[in-house]
Amino acid sequence: MESFIASVIFVLPGFLMYFFIQSFGINSVVKHNPTEMASFSALLWFPVAYISLGVLNLFLSKSVWNLTDIKEAAGSIGFLISFFLISAVASLMCSIIYAKYLYTGQTWIINKVRKWRGVADLSDSPSVWDEVFGGNVVQVVAISKIDKPEAVLIGEIDKAPRAFETEKALHLKHVKLFTRLVHEYNISVESVFFDTKSGTCIKIYNLDEATAAYKKDSDSGER
């Protein structure tokens, strides 16, 4: 029972904030092991717990600020439920503030130091894959293998994997349509993503040209 109470008060608030931050697209380049996750959760516990206790103290007859008071108050089911609900909201709000404002400032400071050391800036995304395919933009691509360039699959990206998915699979839609448009309207390639491990080559077509070709094809009634 004491382990459960300790988890609700000392683990869940920081873990929830860690979960929300990752859900907002701020991920590390590597997957953290349980020990590292526990360390991050412990660090994130402080702001969430401080805000949660501050809100709770507005409604409690006796203020709860130190560990002794928390241990005594934790004997109440009502206190535990109230603390959990408030900490869930507090962790969400703290995560939004960090993801929207503090992370940008943190990255700016890090890049200033990296420039001073003569090192390339960090990008906003944790990996090249996320940088290229993680944005909320329409992308028409051609997928092939470096050793079989003639076997090409062309289409619009509908679904892309998240940061820690081991298999980098893509779901394409409108395959027949864009295969025809690319060949008929000679849509140019804007950039190329190449996976050095698997040999997969993903060509990304110019969006303006693809959009213009799509509209022209729609107006001509050939769809």
Q: What's the whole-number average pLDDT of the chain?
A: 85
pLDDT the model gives residue 223: 46
The full set of domain ranges for the chain reads 2-116, 128-219
Distances (CA, A) of 192 to 98, 133, 135, 204, 206: 33, 12, 16, 6, 11
- Kindly report the backbone phi and psi dihedral angles of residue 204, in degrees, each rounded to the nearest multiple of 5, phi listed first: -110, 120
Gyration radius from the chain CA atoms: 25
Per DSSP, what are the bridge partners of residue 194? 201
State pLDDT tens for residues 117-147.
Answer: 999 888 877 778 888 888 888 999 999 998 8
**Cβ(30)–Cβ(39) under 8 Å?**
no
Would you say residue 159 has pLDDT above 70?
A: yes
pLDDT the model gives residue 138: 92
Measured CA to CA, the distance from residue 84 to residue 78 in angstroms comes to 10
Residue carrying structure tokens 């289409």: 155
Measured CA to CA, the distance from residue 194 to residue 196 in angstroms comes to 6
- Mean pLDDT within 173-188: 93
Return all residues near 136 (Cβ < 8 A) that are at least 6 apart. none
Which pair of structure tokens corresponds to residue 190? Answer: 């804007």
The more confident residue out of 6 and 57 is 57
pLDDT the model gives residue 203: 95
**Cβ(90)–Cβ(52) under 8 Å?**
yes
Q: Whats the size of the chain, residue-wise?
A: 223
pLDDT the model gives residue 2: 65
Would you say residue 76 has pLDDT above 90?
A: no
State pLDDT tens for residues 88-120.
Answer: 999 999 999 999 999 889 889 999 999 999 998
State pLDDT tens for residues 193-215.
Answer: 998 888 899 999 999 999 999 99
**Cβ(140)–Cβ(187) under 8 Å?**
yes
